[in-house]
Amino acid sequence: MFEQEVYLNLYNYIGITLATLLLGYLYCRYKISYWKKRGVSQFRKTNLIFGDYKNGILFRTAPGYHLAELYHEAPENVPYIGFYIFHKPCLLLKEPNIIKQILIRDSKNFNDRYFAGSPQKDSFGMKNLFGLKNPTWKYVWSKTVPTFGQKNVRQMVPLMMETGEPMMEFLRNEPANDRGVKIIDAQDLNYKYGADLIGNIALGVKTDSFKYPDSDYTKFLMSFFRGFKRMIALVTVFFMPKLVEIFGRKILFDSTFLQNIFQKSIKSREESGGKRGDYVDSIIELKNDKQNPLWKFEGENLFFQSGLFFSGLESSVTTATVVLMELAQNKEYQDRARKDVKKAVAEHGWSIEAFDNMKFLDLCIAEGVRLYPPVVHLDRCTRQDYKVPDTNLVLKKGTPIFVSVYGLHTDPKHFENPRSFIPERFSDPANLNDAYFPFGGGPRMCIGKKIGQMHVKVVLSRILAEYEMYRNPEEMYDVDRRSTFTASANGVNIEFKPLKKCCN
């Protein structure tokens, strides 16, 4: 009798387990058939648990670059394709006309980004123009855009030049090998310059990450740029925002250290009444301006605005690094860029007018952000149901929309020899085609474009004016699989050789 009861319980347990597995399987199959039931192409080998994003979620591929892999795996003739992050149905756009329709012409319905979740709990990275949702976004945009205008860029150029002095001093003092060259990690060089520029412009403090690489500030900023926890936070924010809503700040990057520096800087500046032409001046003006109950520029909200600078300057760090790398691998382009820099400086000195006249350097930067876009994807979220023009597809409210910038930029349909660095392709404005989105598109495109480009030009021009560079073109650029943005996993070693000084 006892044995019969044991066997019966065992059979019941096996039956319940099999039934649970079957129900789980059927549930997963149902969830990943969302696009198929709506007549939208989707991938055939969707994982029952991870959806189509398994390699990105497990860091087998850099998360943003995995989206580009999906772009290139999709059938060539489809304007969009459905995919899943876990069981969340998302739409990947491929056709530039549809992308422009959504980002620009119908932007009112797509003004919100998908990432960060509805509560916007990542206060430092998200509670600014980068992540705010409407109607707050529109108000903050109207108040913040002027702080990134040409007048402010002009005021920041001397600060960028000042910040570059420790970098140049570091390059001059680094010992050369027996061939007279200095082998330096250009990515690390740019991260340190970026850290000091953030301090000088966004936080209102002077730092020297080259002379004091072990300072609390520099170590914190290096962790901000490259720390594994922040990389986990970014992947979660961008691709799994529901987890942010569930776990809150525990899963995100702690910016308390920077917030304390910022608050002390604001207090000191207000007490002294002085001005430096940095972003802190602009923040104080916003604080003293008339406030709107929708969003008040006070308390933590002031600090949140500096987060926009951090993200933007981080993108500039990547751009400066990859353009240095490509110039080091191509002597012809390097020589042309150096001639461009020296001619502009000879005519205008180290001024904003000189930087505005470095036209070939502009082409190099434009090509750099095409081939290595710092932000490799764009995302939006439908605010209301939306019928895609000239199709029968109706996107339900809340549907995440993705654009693979790297996918578009490396598509031979849009760019000839897409994997090659060819600055001349942008000498004709017509080549800035509809598939070129290095700064986003529509109302939510990057408002810090001018400041970011100036940052890059200052770094490149200062180095080109004093050094020849070389890097083996066969050497790989390995994208960090942990990073949502473009970054090298192993640095970018470049040979720097001082230019011979003219004797006349």
How much is the pTM? 0.89
User: Could you give the C-alpha distances from 376 to 132, 177, 371, 492, in angstroms and in order?
Assistant: 20, 37, 10, 19
What 8-state DSSP symbol labels residue 210? T
The predicted pLDDT at position 22 comes to 76
Cα separation, 445 vs 377, in Å, equals: 12
Q: Among 432, 405, 191, 196, which Cα is nearest to 314's?
A: 191
Q: Is the peptide bond before 135 cis (omega within 30 degrees of 0)?
A: yes
Cα separation, 282 vs 259, in Å, equals: 17
CATH topology of domain 1-9+40-498: Cytochrome p450 (1.10.630)
The predicted pLDDT at position 253 comes to 59
The predicted pLDDT at position 230 comes to 62
The predicted pLDDT at position 11 comes to 66
Residue 502 known to bind ligand: no
The predicted pLDDT at position 234 comes to 63
Q: Please give the average pLDDT of every successive group of 10 residues along the chain, which has 504 residues.
A: 61 73 80 92 91 85 88 94 92 95 92 64 58 79 82 90 95 91 94 91 90 90 70 63 56 72 88 86 87 83 76 84 97 97 96 95 96 91 92 93 95 94 88 84 84 94 97 85 76 93 54
Q: Among 97, 12, 102, which Cα is nearest to 399's?
A: 102
What size, in residues, is the chain?
504
Domain ranges of the chain: 1-9+40-498
Q: Among 183, 192, 260, which Cα is nearest to 226's?
A: 192
User: Cβ(244)–Cβ(116) under 8 Å?
Assistant: yes
